[in-house]
Amino acid sequence: MRFRTRVFLFSFIPFAVLLAFGFGMTQRLVQTTVRGGLRSSLRENHLAFARIRSKSNLQNSRFLRIAGENPVLKAGMDLLRENPASEAARLTLEDQLRELCAHMNFDLLYVSAPNGVPLAGVIRIRGEFVPLDLSSVDASSLAAAGSSLLSSRGSIFEIASVAMDRAEENIGSLSVGEYFSFSGFGTPAVLMRDGTVLESSLAVEPGGGREGRGGRQVETAEIQKAMLGCRDRSECDVHLRSGNYLSLPIESIPLGQGYRLRSLQDVDSAMAPLLSSLRRLLLAVFVAGVLITLVCSMGAARTVVKPIAEMISHLHPTESTGILPVLVQGESGIREIRDLMASFNRASASVWDARQGLQNAYIEFTGALASALDARDKYTAGHSLRVSRLSCSTAEALNLGKDIVERIRIGALLHDIGKIGIADHVLQKPGRLTDREMAIVRQHPEIGKHILEGVQGFAPFLGAVEFHHENWDGTGYPRGQSEEETPIDARVIHVADAFDAMTSDRPYRRGMTHDEGLRILAANAGIQFDPRIVEAFFTVVASTSPAELPHVERAASVSV
């Protein structure tokens, strides 16, 4: 990571984190406030609904008291009490109950004995009043008076009861009921009994959104699982589907017998408008704060990094030259930067001295390798040095760059280094070599490559060492490369090597004259040798004094 980026991040990130923290805390405060408002609203809603329900129960009680004094109904109850097993008496009482139920528009009407055991009743099913199956009635939920719930065959009824008396004697009770409904609740609610969810009015939209009319009813089992933690708590949070709800018990509506109502208020929907507005406001503040912080941080980073960047710009040429510059210490007004420049200049001087020493040692080592090779055979003494000089002169005649000329100079000194790996009885044989011995000698380019490739500093010269016996027409060795497939270094050294070999004495022949050597080079231009390099070589030989070239007395047969 760049230094400027680090300075920027160290300046920017803390303030950005502070802004984000403030945003989160504000949002949490808003959520707490909204939840408190929801809680108060729910409780007021519960009280209002309880008052409405109380008025409804009062009206139902009036109807019940009037119905309870019906002499025909009392006579029917007396008849059934006297003849409990009489089917006719039960049917007569059911007919009377059916007529009363239809007249008062209730869903359920039944009479009970003084001990609370139901005697007869009717229930509305699909618009028709049918006899109540007394065996399906949960007698434990009945009450002699007041309000409660009744469970019958999976249906739940809200019931109200009134005592039926005759002359200070209680002959039983009359109860009316309606199917339990959440229609009067302003918010979704859940009916529970002993911690088990029986019914709910919670619905979600088909797309998975929040509650709404026409939405799909949430399964009771799913609500039961979500409300496991609400059994013994007056207020709890419920996570259902993708929504969060606040659940409060509706204490103002007593149901008795373990029944309990809990309201569910969608917290997310209630907070959505306020949070949306708040987010837009805080986002605007956050963006403005970030922009201001960004500008300030960039300015601070630029102030800190600028002098360092200027110093680095002076070092860019080093990438291509490898030479460390001397920095002008007066360019910066920052004391630490001036100290850094002074230390850098001292280090640069030390590196320069070390570089010069290494370069001198490198040159001396290369010359030592060439001398060690030539020392093995008095007939080839000085061969590498002569080839190096001729190659450099030819490269200069070709107008090659200084770097390439220097690379050719070193490559020519090392071109036969692989002959170190050739046995003396082959390399110094006084007569002509056999085909098998010639094959061994032809291994020296690859041997030389393997010797040098283990040293990183010799990498630029591997091409000259390995390919200096490749011919222009592809008949050379070791790869059979042709024309410009062979590096320029190897092609130049090939010409100089051949000329020096032809004009130097060997144990089995005398060296050729210069003219003969040049004639053979000309004859093989475009076959063995690059014709452009041969032409440049002729220019070099013509401009070189005889003392600087290999000198021989007479010509002999050629063996390159």
- pLDDT tens by residue, 377-389: 665 668 888 899 9
Two tokens at 1? 């990571």
Q: Where are the beta strands (DSSP E) in 113-168?
A: 118-125, 128-131, 146-152, 155-166
Binned at pLDDT 50, 70 and 90, residue 554 comes out as: very low
CA distance 443 to 377: 18
Two tokens at 127? 């618009």
Binned at pLDDT 50, 70 and 90, residue 493 comes out as: very high
Compute the chain's Rg from CA coordinates: 55
pLDDT of residue 164: 81
- Residue linked to tokens 């209630």: 270
**Residues carrying CATH 1.10.3210.10, the chain:** 376-548
Class of domain 61-179: alpha beta
**Superfamily assignment of 376-548 in CATH?**
Hypothetical protein af1432 (1.10.3210.10)
Sign of CA dihedral 330, 332, 335, 339: negative
Element (H, E) at 351: helix 335-374
pLDDT of residue 256: 67
CA distance 454 to 461: 12
pTM (2 d.p.)? 0.43
What percentage of the chain's residues is helix, strand, coil (to nearest 5)? 55, 15, 30
pLDDT of residue 556: 33
Mean pLDDT of 283-291: 75
**Residues carrying CATH 3.30.450.20, the chain:** 61-179
Query: Per-residue pLDDT tens for 301-319?
Result: 666 666 677 667 766 666 6
Nearest alpha-carbon partner for 110 in 130, 85, 87, 128? 130
CA distance 449 to 276: 74
Phi and psi torsions of 49, nearest 5°: -65, -35
Query: Per-residue pLDDT tens for 18-70?
Result: 767 776 777 677 667 766 766 676 666 666 656 656 666 655 666 667 776 77
The C-alpha torsion from 202 through 207 and 212 to 217, rounded to 10°, is: -30
Contacts of 413 (CB under 8 A, 6+ apart): 366, 367, 369, 370, 384, 385, 388
